Structure 1
């Protein structure tokens, strides 16, 4: 009996927290970011052009967004060098690798298993680094990182916010990552106004990368 009541209480708490967080994300409850001297910013570099885009965005940010904690796929051989060049005048950054959640042309069915494997690395990484902000723009690499950040916020362990910037090549529809994070990210930023008709919660700020 006691175990059943405890289970019901836990489920009720999680559902209530989920409702509150989603209402914050969708703007029905004030979504004020907690004040802090600096924002520990976790940046997911999605490889290739996605890495180039996210680094352009990061280069426009002030030192308030530091330290910078870069997350890359373990199979991504080029992004570490790009990041080091971008951060040439800074020593307040670090790079972490996780298994890629979905390879190019990998089926959606098998990607579920690889995403779970990637998440097993992301949950302890996010718990260890405790980012205030997750900034991402690209493919499936960002999904397990954002899931971990969202879950810790849900459980009141860390009030981490998520900002997803859709790639500039997405004109008429969001990417799969964008469609998933539309319901998890605090801000979804698009670079084409045409997307606002389908995704009214998104924000259009012009071409930012």
Structure 2
């Protein structure tokens, strides 16, 4: 009987999350800046969002970020001037690495931001209690994407 209840709750949760996801994606799509084919005519800098992971994942991602944030041939400014680094509240190492990277580049504080978001599920957290934390994490993510819409999103 517990298996049947668990499967039923799992199916209900999957349905609710799917509908919420579709709802938030539709809201985001309505507020998203229109895609233009003439990229050279932009009046705002390109925005880069980097989702930092724990451990070695951040170290793997930083060389790519470095390559994307250096000036290209024939240019004096980097292409991705507006950078957002996203990490989990409980991750203490990733924001330090992002800050060290930006300090090494002598970046102006207006060029980047480091944002913490809640995890959808902590290690060892029960699946039932992760329903609320997943919805909370989704809300934070959609809010962040609407405030700082990226032109390029890097995840590892």
1:39 aligns with 2:58: no
Taking structure 1 as the reference length, the TM-score comes to: 0.45
Q: How far off is 1:102 after superposition?
A: 2.8
Flag structure 1 segments of 5+ consecutive residues without an equivalent: 1-13, 19-30, 138-209
Counterpart for residue 135 of structure 1: 154
Counterpart for residue 201 of structure 1: none
Counterpart for residue 107 of structure 2: 90
Say what the alpha-carbon RMSD is for the aligned residues: 2.9
Q: Going by fraction, where is helix more abundant, 1 or 2? A: 2
CA distance in 1, matches of 2:92, 2:113: 16
Counterpart for residue 59 of structure 2: 52
Counterpart for residue 134 of structure 2: 115
CA distance in 2, matches of 1:108, 1:49: 26
Q: How far off is 1:33 after superposition?
A: 6.5
Q: State which structure, 1 or 2, has the greater radius of gyration over its C-alpha atoms.
A: 2
CA distance in 2, matches of 1:46, 1:98: 12
Match of 1:74 among 89, 106, 126: 89
Greater relative CO, 1 or 2 (CA 8 Å, sep 6+): 2
Instruction: Give the count of matched residue pairs.
Output: 111
Instruction: Detail structure 1 runs of 4+ shifted over 2 Å in the superposition.
Output: 31-34, 102-115
Counterpart for residue 143 of structure 2: 124
CA distance in 1, matches of 2:95, 2:37: 30
CA distance in 1, matches of 2:145, 2:83: 13
